Structure 1
C-alpha cells in the first residue's frame, strides 16, 4: 500500500475494530469514542470554513475605524453654532439625486457629523441604497456613496460584510458561513467534553486551564489545544448562536420559532386609521416635515442618534427611531402624525421581550459594536485564540500520519464503528436528538450525512483492499 493510501486510510477511515467486545460499556466511556470521531471529522473537514469565517469576521470588526479614515470627508465636518434645517439639507440631497426616492434621514448626531439622506434607486441591487452626506451647518453636499443594509454600511464595510457572509458568491456563498456556524457549537462542545474527561483524574484546576508543564511532542500539542479551547469555548458558542440568526435556512427556522413564541422584535404602528389623511390642525395633507418629526421626538424624550422614515402614504405616520447600538442600548421608536406632530404610538426598548433584547445585544456584540473598543479587542483575542486551536488541531492530525515504515508515532486515529458499542437505550435518544437538530440546522444534518456516506464508502474500499492483500500474500 502506498503512502498516499495510508494517509487517506489513517486520516479519514481510521482503524477497523478487529472484534466487538461482548461486555458493553456504559456512560461516558461508551460515548467518548463517538464524540472523539465526530470532533475529529469536524476538525479536519469543517475547520477551513471556520478559519475563513474567523479571518473575515476579524476584518469586519475593525471596519468602523477604516470607514472613519477613508470617508472622513463624507462623515465629518467642522463644528459651528449655525445649523440649517433638515428640510434644506434634504432638498440639497434630493437635487443631487432627482431620480431617486428618499427613504430615510439620519440627522447629524453631533456638530462634527454630517446628515445622511438615504435613497432607494432602481439601478441598485437588492439591499443596496444610495446615501448623500450633507453638512448640517452649511447644507453643503459632501458626497454620495452606495451603502448596504439597514445600517447603511459604507462601501468598504459592505465589501467586507459580503465577504464574511458569502464570499461575494451570492446566495450560494452564504452556505459556507451557515455551515461554519452550524458546526462551530458542535466542535466547541465536543472539544470541551473530551478535554474535561481527559483531565478529570488529575483533579487540578491548573491542568484544565493551562498547558502542561514540561510536556513535549504530541502531549504538549494536546495540552495547548485543550486548554486554549476551553478558554474560548463560551465565546465560540456565542458566535455560533448569533451567527445562525443571519443564515439562510437555520435563520428562517429561528425566525419562525421566535414568531411562534411571540419573541419577535416589536415595531411601532404607523397607521393613522383614517383614509382621509393625517389629522393635523391645518388643512388636509398638512405635513410637519422632517424638522417637525424630529422636534416631536426630542420633546418626547428620544435622545442621541436617530433616523427618520417618512410616511409612504397619506394615512401613515413618520417613524423616528433611535439607532444607538452601544450599551445602554437606545432602540426606542415613535410614530409621529405628519399633520399635528402628535406621537400616536411609541415602543420602548425597555418593553421588548427579553429574548428580543437578547437578540439585539447578541447581534451587536457579534458585530463588535456593543461595548465599543473593548468589544473589538475581545473578539480579536477570541479569533486569534481560535486560529491557534485550529493550528494545534491540524498538527495533532498530522502527527497521526503513518510513516514510511507504517508506524504511527502520534497514535491511532479515532476508530470507526464506535456507534455500534453504544447501547440502544442511549443510541435511540441520540438519533432522535440528531434528527431534531438537523431539522433546525439543515446544513449540519446534510453535511453529517455526507460524512457518514463517505466514511462508509471508504471503509468498504479499505476492507476490500485489506482482503485482496491477504489473498495476494497467501498466494505468494
Structure 2
C-alpha cells in the first residue's frame, strides 16, 4: 500500500514537473548568451537616462552660464562668432535652439575631415566657452555602446540578437518560476532569506526576475524598433500598411524646396535643357567646394536619419529630405533667410525652444526643424524653404500611423523622458535589476558547474511534446528572422555538440 502510494506520488510529481528541464536548458542557453550584453545594456542605459543631469556635471564650463539681466545676442550674431572660432573650411551644420537662461548656445560644425564638433558660446556676450567632439563626448560614446558596442554594424546586430534572446530568457524564466504543487503565488513573490547557499541565490534570482519581467519585456519591445536590421524592416512594413510614417513621407507626396524662378524655368523642354547646361557650368566654376556642398545637403535619397541630428522621431527617420528642382548660378542666387528670422518663424508656429535646426549648406538645401520633446504628442518635424520661408512640410504626432504613435510613447518611456525624474528612476531600477539578474545567474552557474563541462542542465529522459512552447519559438523566429537563425543553430548544436547528458540539479 505504501509502495503504491509512493509510486503514485513520484508519478504525480513527474507529471507536474514535465518539461521543467527542457525549459531550464533553454533558459540556460539564453542567459549564457545574454548575460554580458545585459550588463552592458543596463549600465549604459541607466547612464543615458540621466543624461540631462550628468552632462552639465561633466562639462559645466561649456554648457552652463550665469543668467544675466541683459538681452541675449541674436542667433545670427552668435553663429557669426562661432564661425569665427572654427577653421575656415568648417561648415555650420546644426544649431541647438534653447531659451533656458543658464544654458549656453551650441552650434555643430562639420570639419573638413568629416568630424563633427560642437562650439559653445555665452549667449549674453558671445564669448566662446569651448568645443567638444560630437562623436567622442561621453554620452555619445555611451549611446553607441548601448546600441552597437562601438563595433559598427556587427555590434548593432549582436545587440539586436541579445534583445531578442532576452525574450526567450524571460519567457522560460516565468515558466520556471510558475508555482508548482503546494507553492503559493505569495510565497513565490517574496524572497526567502532563511535559505542558505545556492538555494538562496536561486530564490533571489527567481523572485527578482518575476518582479522585473514586465519592465524587461517593455524595455525590449520599445528598443527593438530602433535596431538597424529588424527595426528598419519593421518601419518599412508599418509604413506599407499605413500604420507608420505620415502619408507621403516615403515619396508618395512631393517634398521640394523650389528656388524663386524655378517654376518659370521649367515651362518648356528647351528651358530645362538650358538649365541643365547652366548647372554643369556653375558646378565647374565653383569646383570642389560646390561639389562638397551638394554632397553635404542635397544627396539624392538623403533621409532624416542622415542629417546631423542627435535624435529624430522614429516615424520620420526615413522621410526624404527636400531638394530643389534646379540650381541657379551664384550671381542669380537669391538671398537666403538668416537664422534669426527662421527661429522667429518657428516660434510663431508654436515651437519656441528645445529643438535642433539643421542649416542648409547648399543652394538646394532647406532649414530642417527637429523637435523631439519628452511628450510624444508635441513632436514636430518641419522643412522650411531657405529663400521664401515657406513651410514645405510640418509633420506632427497626429500625422503618424498607429504603430508610430505607439513607438513614440515606448521611446519616451524607454529613455526615461515621459514623466520626469520618476520615469528615470524607474528605468534605472529595471536596468540595474536586470544586471543583478545576470550576476545572480552567473553565481548560480558557478556554484553548480561541473569540471571540464559547460554545465548545461541535463535533458529529460522522456521530454514532453511542449507544442505550445515550440510554436512560440517558431513564431518568434519568424517575427525576428535573425534570431530564428540563431535559434536553429543553438538547437542543432544542442543535439550534435552538447549531446552528452550534463549532470546538474534543479
- Fold shared, TM-score > 0.5 on shorter chain: yes
Report if aligned partners of 1:269, 1:335 keep a CA contact under 8 Å in 2.
no
- Kept in 2: contact 1:36–1:414 (CA 8 A): yes
Relative to structure 1, the CA distance from residue 26 to residue 216 in structure 2 (aligned partners, 3 Å threshold; closer, same or farther) is closer
- Partner residue of 2:50 out of 62, 70, 74: 62
Residues 275 and 315, structure 1, Cα contact 8 Å, conserved in 2: no
- Partners of 1:27 and 1:261 lie apart in 2 by 45
Deviation readout 1:150-200 (Å, 9 max, x if unpaired): xxxx7111222223333333333334322321211111122112212x357
Residue aligned with 1:245, SS: helix
CA contact (8 A) 1:179 1:443 kept: yes
Question: In structure 2, how many angstroms separate the alpha carbons of the residues matched to 1:269 and 1:320?
Answer: 18
Q: What secondary structure does 1:224 align onto?
A: helix
**Aligned partners of 1:306, 1:251: CA distance in 2, in Å?**
25
| 1:236-275 to 2 correspondences below 5 Å | 236-266=216-246, 271-273=256-258
Partner of 1:386: 434
1:428-439 equivalent positions in 2, closer than 5 A = 430=470, 434-439=473-478
Shift in Å, 1:67: 1.6
| Alignment CA distance shift 1:391-1:199 (3 Å) | farther
The CA deviation at 1:399 is 4.7
Structure 2 match to 1:7:
none
Q: CA deviation at 1:202?
A: 3.8
**Does 2:403 correspond to 1:355?**
yes
| CA distance 1:59–1:200, change in 2 (3 Å) | farther
Q: Aligned partners of 1:254 and 1:88: how far apart in 2? A: 44
Aligned to 1:466: none
State whether residues 62 and 104 of structure 2, in contact with CA within 8 Å, keep that contact through their aligned partners in structure 1.
Answer: yes
Q: Does 1:130 align with 2:178?
A: no
Aligned position for 1:10: none
1:441 maps to what in 2? 480
Q: 1:104 to 1:449 in 2, by over 3 A?
A: same
Contact 2:215–2:430 under 8 Å retained in 1: yes
1:172 maps to: 154
Match of 1:11 in 2: none
5+ long unaligned stretches in structure 1: 1-22, 149-153, 404-411, 464-476
Query: 2:378 is matched with which residue?
Result: 330
Equivalent residue number for residue 367 of structure 1: 415
Aligned to 1:44: 32
Structure 1 position 26, deviation (Å)? 13
Which residue is 2:85 aligned to?
Answer: 96
Gap change, CA 1:459 and 1:139, over 3 Å in 2:
closer
**In the alignment, which of 409, 416, 420 is matched to residue 459 of structure 2?**
416
Write the deviation string for residues 18-63 of structure 1: whole angstroms up to 9, x where unpaired.
xxxxx9x999965544323211221234323322322333333334
Cα distance between partner residues in 2 of 1:164 and 1:299 = 37
TM-score by length of 1: 0.75
CA–CA separation in structure 2 for the residues paired with 1:27 and 1:122? 70
Matched residues, number: 415
Q: Which residue of 1 aligns with 2:261?
A: 276
Q: Residue 378 of structure 2 aligns to a residue in which SS?
A: coil
Bigger Cα displacement from structure 2, 53-62 vs 297-306: 53-62
1:185 aligns with 2:167: yes
**For 2:427, what is the secondary structure of its paired residue?**
helix
- Greater shift in the superposed pair: 96-105 or 305-314: 305-314
| 3-state DSSP of counterpart to 2:226 | coil
- Aligned-pair distance for 1:361? 2.9
1:234 aligns with 2:214: yes
**CA positional deviation for 1:273:** 4.4
Q: Within the alignment, does 1:87 sit opposite 2:76 as a pair?
A: yes
Q: In structure 1, what is the Cα distance between the partners aligned to 2:188 and 2:463? A: 31
Q: TM-score, normalised by structure 2?
A: 0.71
Go from structure 1 to structure 2 and tell me whether the alpha carbon gap of 1:259 and 1:348 turns closer, same or farther (over 3 Å shift). closer
Give the distance between the partners of 1:301 and 1:437, measured in 2 at CA. Answer: 43
The separation in 1 between residues aligned to 2:227 and 2:191, in whole angstroms, is: 36
- CA pair 191-238 structure 1, distance change in 2 beyond 3 A: same
Query: Quick one: distance in 1 between partners of 2:377 and 2:181?
Result: 41
